[in-house]
Amino acid sequence: MSKNPFLNACSAFIYIIVVAGVMYYGPHLVGTPKDTGIMPVVFIASFLSLYAFSAAVMGYIFLYRPATLYIDGDKKGAVALFLKTLAFFGGLVLFVLLAFLFVNQ
């Protein structure tokens, strides 16, 4: 990703919003599938595939640039970028959760 921790955190947050939106609105768009004997297997396989894909995407967003900085010898910069990205992401998640709590009262 980039050396901007706020941009990295926003990228991760947007990815999560897109995946959650597709999971929520997807069945509404394509309709309810017929209940066959293989549906539990398809559901579990697709869930595990999405989990593995999401781990790879989030790993890329959070770890690619710090890892390259670390390999290039900038160990302090790598750790600082990683921690700042985590802090911005945590702050963004906390802000959204608090906003939903106060708006829905």
Residue 30 has pLDDT above 80, yes or no: no
pLDDT in tens, 60-84: 999 999 999 999 999 999 999 999 9
Question: Distance between CA 1 and CA 66 in Å, rounded?
Answer: 9
- Global pTM reads 0.81
Q: What percent of the chain has pLDDT over 90?
A: 68
Residue in the block written with tokens 């929520």? 24
Crossing angle (nearest 10°) for helices 75-103 and 39-71: 140
